[in-house]
Amino acid sequence: MNKRTALYEKHLASNAKVIDFGGWDMPLHYGSQLNEHHIVRKDAGVFDVSHMTVVDLNGERVIEFLQYLLANNVSKIVGKTGKALYTCMLNEKGGIIDDLIVYYQAEQEFRMVVNAATRDKDLAWIEQHASNFAVSVTERTDLAMLAIQGPQAIEKITPLLPDALRDTALNLKPFTACWDDNLFIARTGYTGEDGFEIMLSNEQAPAFWDALLNANIAPIGLGARDTLRLEAGMNLYGSDMGETDTPLESNLAWTIGWKPAERNFIGRDVLEAQKANGEHSVLVGLVLKGKGVLRGHQAVYVDEAGGKGEITSGTYSPTLGVSIAFARLPAGVYEEVKVEIRNKQIPAQVVKPPFVRHGKACIDI
């Protein structure tokens, strides 16, 4: 039997189409994935993301531990209460075990949010290395997590925030968080729109969900979440990256904390060798120039000699009205490629993601 979040019955009450997602029963949509996408781009929607894994890390050597465990350097956020950092957790070969967000709460306290489908291997890897630093690892299965996203999200949620946290929450800068004993509020998201991600107890979640819907914040399923994140140029673990792909091969070089040079994080030697030779594959954005829809695993031809790569994620962009994708290609710099769709090679423009941010196009079509 699949796992269910504290909001499962609420999804059924809103006529959600429920699917299996990483061992969880989750809402794909509540009637129209397309409408839900546009709601988040133009108004405000709420996602149940309680399937994500929340982990609290504590210990005198927790900073030292995270500097070793993560490719990005947590010293960037140390001393900045509530500050968040996006990073990858790598294996010894530089492959991405998972991408995650880590929050600085106090000198010996951090909170980490990792993907649902990778929970078991993530926890095993974290605990394996945490033991060497005497760091405690606590999975917060008592918490639900909601993402309220869209240009009207903050305005609509403001009356629902507790008095003691309201002003602080409304003044949060992107990638920062605040909290009290009941709510953890972060100005983060996976849509390219403004908003909050809020953690609260499983017991509180249903009533808070109802309050959000009563504030005309629409429920949004995982289907729209996927098209929104692709438009926003955000990778999906398991599609655009995995354990055989390094950050340099996944358009995530910006998440590597190269300095200081003496910081020895897992996989660093492999990344340094890749960076030096420059012969690794690259992840790029594509916009289809002809008819068709870009889908995962379609072949991408980069030259007349038959060199090719592959689409990792692809979809029709509801905001742009064209088909867009991520593709992993051989080392090189490209302006145009051809994608095989139904035995035809259709031209596609190579672009630098994101495609859409804050409801507006970031590329020339």
Distance separating alpha carbons of residues 307 and 299, to the nearest angstrom: 10
Q: How many helices (H) and strands (E) does the chain have?
A: 9, 21
Domain 281-356 architecture: Beta Barrel (2.40)
**Of the candidates 209, 191, 212, 199, the residue with the CA atom closest to the CA atom of residue 8:** 209
Is 359 a residue whose pLDDT tops 80?
Answer: yes
In this prediction, residue 306 carries a pLDDT of: 75
In this prediction, residue 177 carries a pLDDT of: 98
**Of the candidates 2, 42, 23, the residue with the CA atom closest to the CA atom of residue 220:** 42
Share of the chain above pLDDT 90, in %: 97
Distance separating alpha carbons of residues 189 and 148, to the nearest angstrom: 8
Reading phi first (left if > 0) and then psi (alpha if -120 to 50, else beta), residue 192 is in: left
Is 44 a residue whose pLDDT tops 90?
Answer: yes
Write out the DSSP string of 187-252.
S--SSSS-EEEEEEETTTHHHHHHHHHHTT-EE--HHHHHHHHHHTT---BTTTB-TT--GGGTT-
Is 215 a residue whose pLDDT tops 90?
Answer: yes
C-alpha 43: how far from chain center: 21
319-329: per-residue pLDDT in tens? 999 999 999 99
- Report the SS3 class of residue 164: helix
Distance separating alpha carbons of residues 27 and 247, to the nearest angstrom: 30
Is 317 a residue whose pLDDT tops 90?
Answer: yes
- Contact residues for 189 (Cβ-Cβ < 8 A; gap 6+): 147, 149, 195, 196, 197
In this prediction, residue 115 carries a pLDDT of: 96
- pLDDT, mean over the chain: 97
Tell me the domain boundaries of the chain: 8-53+142-231, 281-356
Is 155 a residue whose pLDDT tops 90?
Answer: yes
> 339 and 349 in contact (C-beta within 8 Å)?
no
Is 364 a residue whose pLDDT tops 90?
Answer: no
Share of the chain above pLDDT 70, in %: 100
- Report the SS3 class of residue 292: coil
**Of the candidates 227, 199, 225, 217, the residue with the CA atom closest to the CA atom of residue 152:** 217
- Contact residues for 264 (Cβ-Cβ < 8 A; gap 6+): 68
Domain 8-53+142-231 architecture: 2-Layer Sandwich (3.30)
Distance separating alpha carbons of residues 66 and 73, to the nearest angstrom: 8
Q: Binning pLDDT at 50, 70 and 90, where does residue 49 land?
A: very high
Is 351 a residue whose pLDDT tops 90?
Answer: yes
Is 176 a residue whose pLDDT tops 80?
Answer: yes
Provide the whole-model pTM: 0.97
Encoding tokens for residue 173? 């800068």
Average pLDDT over residues 162-179: 98
Per CATH, 8-53+142-231 and 281-356 having the same topology is answered no
Average pLDDT over residues 285-305: 94
Average pLDDT over residues 15-22: 96
Q: Binning pLDDT at 50, 70 and 90, where does residue 304 land?
A: confident
Q: Binning pLDDT at 50, 70 and 90, where does residue 305 land?
A: confident
